[in-house]
Chains A and B, each alone.
Chain A
Amino acid sequence: GAGVSQTPSNKVTEKGKYVELRCDPISGHTALYWYRQSLGQGPEFLIYFQGTGAADDSGLPNDRFFAVRPEGSVSTLKIQRTERGDSAVYLCASSLNPGATDTQYFGPGTRLTVL
Chain B
Amino acid sequence: AQSVTQLGSHVSVSEGALVLLRCNYSSSVPPYLFWYVQYPNQGLQLLLKYTSAATLVKGINGFEAEFKKSETSFHLTKPSAHMSDAAEYFCAVSQASNQFYFGTGTSLTVIP
Contacts and interface: CB of A to CB of B under 8 A. Distances in A.
Contact of A45 (B32, B99, B105): B99
Task: Give the interface residue-count category, chain B.
Answer: 20 to 34
B104 A42 contact: yes
A interface majority secondary structure: loop
Interface string B86-112: 000010101111111111110000000
Interface stretch (A14-22, A63-71, A80-88, A97-105): A97-105
Interface of A: 3-4, 31, 33, 35, 40-45, 48, 55-56, 58-59, 91, 93, 98-101, 103-109
List the 4 shortest-distance A-B pairs measured between CB atoms, nearest first: A42-B102, A106-B43, A106-B44, A101-B51
Interface of B: 4, 9, 32, 36, 41-46, 49, 51, 90, 92, 94-105
